[in-house]
Structure 1
Amino acid sequence: MGTPAVRPEYAAVEVGVALPTQRFPVNRETLVRYAGASGDFNPIHWNERFARDVGLPDVIAHGMFTMAEAVRVVTDWTGDPGAVVEYGVRFTKPVVVPDDGVGATVEVSGRIAAKDDEERTVRVDLTAVCDGRKVLGMARAVVRLP
């Protein structure tokens, strides 16, 4: 996980500024490791036949995994995961992870959308895309900066 050379200071952050875009690869091994760490062994995350039987195109990534990867854009930018005071998303499309040796890639970008001078916080709006489709909606993090 990357850390910025200089932690952003509240006074220096401006609305409209983009955070560095990041790409997060996801393959079947990633899903197995996440299932083990989270305890979420739902077969839609590892069994193609089951996933298709319930109407999915293939195995899909865990929603919480996708959510966690997206907020890394913010935590890498701040250099401090504890700076995130609020975070929420809506799951709009699943991240389909084919068993082709490559998997999928989630690309996440962020932009400073608002500042609160009283609280010394900024709101970062995130966009997460996989295969040209937005996979998270209303993805927003509120961050307290020094």
Structure 2
Amino acid sequence: MPRFTPCGWTASMALIAAAALPLASCTNTGTAHRAPTQEASMKSGVGPMLEEIYASRKPVRFEQLDVSDIVRRHFPAGTDKATVIDAFADSSTSKVVEDTADKLVVRDNHGQAMLDPDARSVVITFHLDADGKVSGIEALHLKNQ
């Protein structure tokens, strides 16, 4: 039966650590490749607007905060529907959930409910006139439950 001596035990642990190190770096490499992509999408298009919204006061429980003023600064009245859709197309966290002739609803999710204690969403409703231009905006910042 093999006997472990302090020197042998240390050598065994060093060998195990050296073998596990490349595996750990593989998982970090995958994370490093995904992170800049999400960050890059936040810097372009609607990124600055979403950063401003998520940096503002956080909703608590079922509270819904009106952030329409922030969205209106980035999308003034008269903006084309196509321009709005193109701006959100670059964001990996945003999704058009309703697209009709008189209304466009976009939802942006920041984190996942149940997995992230700070999971929040922004739901933006763009009201459109007969020419397909923004005539009104309603935007809510809410906490995912």
TM superposition score normalised by structure 1: 0.27
TM superposition score normalised by structure 2: 0.27
Q: Which has the higher strand share?
A: 1
Larger Rg: 2
